[in-house]
Amino acid sequence: MNASAKVLLRGSSLLALIVALQSTVVASVDDAQSFALQAAEPYVKEGFQVREDYWGGDLGSGEKKAVRQQLFKGNEYWFWLGTEVERAKISVHIYDSDGKLAEEPDGWEKGHFAAAHVIPKTTGSYFVIVNVEESPEERTHWALVYGFR
Amino acid sequence: MTPFTKYLKLSTIAAGGLTLCVHGAQIPQRIDIKQLSKTVEDVVVPLPNEIFGALNKLGTVNWKEHVRSDKGTNFTERPRIALLLGTVIADGFIAVQAEDAPTVKEIGQRVLALAKGIGVGNSITPHAKAIIEAADKRNWDSVRQELDRTQNSVQQAMNEVHDEKLSQLVSLGGWLRGTEVLTSVVSKHFSADGAELLHQPDLLSYFQARLQAMPEFNLPILREIGDALLQVKPLIDVGNARIPRESVKKINDITTRLGSGIVTRD
């Protein structure tokens, strides 16, 4: 192989790597959202309307994020958390505006999915705490969706 | 380590020995909210039908009397179109509650026209079509879902072209219309539980902060909304106290006036 062909090959390999890395970065929160929606799917049959809007981002292992959500007494809510990182362990929990745990005991965590259930006792702001407990990746993408009925 | 992370680690240690739940891990039973202030993401603004759903559970509501099919003024200012778009989508949710198929279809067309006026028509066309088809079949769950998708697509399209402020005005328009109807229903059939649905101080602060960050939109209606939110705040930010009938009525007067201002020219 001549020198210019080697340069071209190296250049195109580098370009392919950059494109692949970029698409991984861009796709990850969307992938995480797909997993969160997958976790929500069975609940749609039970009458939950899943919102199109969602939160997303990335966290290091052991890091947490709080999101604030207005909830209405009379409604029932599920929050579903997903990540594309298969061996990650994630969790989601809900606290009221006084910082008291407000969720029902039937929340669950399974691999790269987690869910929390809340039937608000009062109308107001609640805090949803998202946690990447363990992950083999340096940064783990996450997405949180919610549904109500 | 952020103060929040530090706190949560401490609270996890402090919460050792507390009840195990089906999550299979120990969950802190209490967290310090003050420590969260710097790490909290912005709120997701609830859809009007989240509030309407809760309202429905308190008793039968005559949704038909709240249906509005007035096409409103054709504005050229993009912030005005955005505000109006939010209220029209909220009107769509009201028409769904009333199971009024002709109005839902009109609203589907109106949403499309407004979205085109603001330059995001392409992302809305399939949703407008789906709204009309689902209304024809009287498939109300699908209409609700498509209205949510419509709002989401409009806002995503705006965010993609860095029109986040217009996107926030869509949310604000929807919230104002939802609050107008909520207060109208609760004023007519007052109950403490109904009034409690107005307890949304953080959401109101969120909108106040967003409005203050748009000085470039020098429009009388936005100044009027900003002043009105100042009046509403003490009426709904009551802590653990109940929101009285008089406050509900006052908020209804304010939001009705704003609603009229949003659909008509200054």
Complete DSSP assignment for A50-105: EPS--EEEEE-TT-EEEEEEEE-BTB-EEEEEE-S-TT-EEEEEEE-TTSBB---T
Strand partners, B256: none
Q: What pTM does this model have?
A: 0.85
Strand partners, B122: none
Task: Identify whether the C-beta of residue A40 lies closer than 8 Å to the C-beta of residue A78.
Answer: yes
Cβ density class A6-17: b for 16+ within 10 Å, e for less: eeeeeeeeeeee
Q: Which of A108, A109, A127 sits opposite B33 (nearest CB)?
A: A127
Check if B3 contacts A (Cβ < 8 Å): no
Among A46, A101, A104, A142, most B C-beta atoms within 10 A, so best to mutate, is A101
pLDDT of residue B60: 87
The helix/strand count (H/E) of chain B reads as 11, 1
**Across the A/B interface, how many CB contacts are shorter than 8 Å?**
129
pLDDT of residue A3: 52
CA B238 to chain centre: 20
Interatomic CA distance for residues B192 and A74, integer angstroms: 13
Among B158, B193, B199, B206, most A C-beta atoms within 10 A, so best to mutate, is B199
- Structural domain including A9 reads 3-148
pLDDT of residue B37: 59
Cα–Cα nearest to B167, from B83, B256, B74? B83
Q: Which of B4, B23, B203 sits opposite A107 (nearest CB)?
A: B23
Among A29, A79, A93, A125, most B C-beta atoms within 10 A, so best to mutate, is A125
ipTM, two decimals:
0.86
- Which chain B residue's Cα is nearest to A51? B148
- Which chain B residue's Cα is nearest to A48? B141
Half-sphere exposure in the Cβ direction for B91 (13 Å, CA) = 26
User: Per the structure, how many domains does chain A have?
Assistant: 1
Ordered per-residue pLDDT tens for chain B, 266 residues: 333 333 333 333 333 323 334 555 688 999 988 777 556 667 788 999 999 999 999 988 999 999 997 767 789 999 999 999 999 999 999 999 999 999 999 999 999 999 999 999 998 999 999 999 999 999 999 999 999 999 999 998 998 888 999 999 999 999 999 999 999 999 999 999 999 999 999 999 999 999 999 999 999 999 999 999 999 999 999 998 999 999 999 999 999 999 999 998 77
Please report which confidence band the pLDDT of residue A10 belongs to, taking 50, 70 and 90 as the band edges: low
pLDDT of residue A19: 47
Mean pLDDT value across residues A66-91: 95
Check if B228 contacts A (Cβ < 8 Å): no
Distance from CA of B61 to the nearest CA of A (A): 15
Mean pLDDT value across residues A59-67: 93
Check if B23 contacts A (Cβ < 8 Å): yes
CA B81 to chain centre: 16
Distance from CA of B250 to the nearest CA of A (A): 20
Question: What CATH number should be reported for the domain holding residue A66?
Answer: 2.60.120.380
Contacts of residues B124-131 at CB distance under 8 Å and 24 or more positions apart, as own/partner, are B124/B150, B124/B153, B124/B154, B127/B153, B131/B92, B131/B104, B131/B105, B131/B107
Interatomic CA distance for residues A60 and A146, integer angstroms: 23
CA A41-B52-A79 angle, 5° bins: 30
Note which residues in 43-102 of chain B have CB less than 8 A from chain A. 43-47, 49-51, 53-55, 57-58
Interatomic CA distance for residues B266 and B224, integer angstroms: 11
Strand partners, A126: A69
Distance from CA of B266 to the nearest CA of A (A): 32
Distance from CA of B142 to the nearest CA of A (A): 10
Do the Cβ atoms of A123 and B149 come within 8 Å? Answer: no
Q: Between the CA of residue B254 and those of A81, B226, B227, what are the distances in Å? A: 38, 12, 10
Mean pLDDT value across residues A119-141: 95
pLDDT of residue A101: 97
CA A112-A116-A113 angle, 5° bins: 10
Poorest-confidence range of A88-97, A117-126, B1-10, B238-247? Answer: B1-10
Check if B162 contacts A (Cβ < 8 Å): no
Mean pLDDT value across residues A83-98: 94
DSSP state of B35: G
The H or E element spanning position A128 is strand A124-134
Interatomic CA distance for residues B58 and B195, integer angstroms: 11
Average pLDDT, rounded, for chain A: 86
Interatomic CA distance for residues B121 and B143, integer angstroms: 18
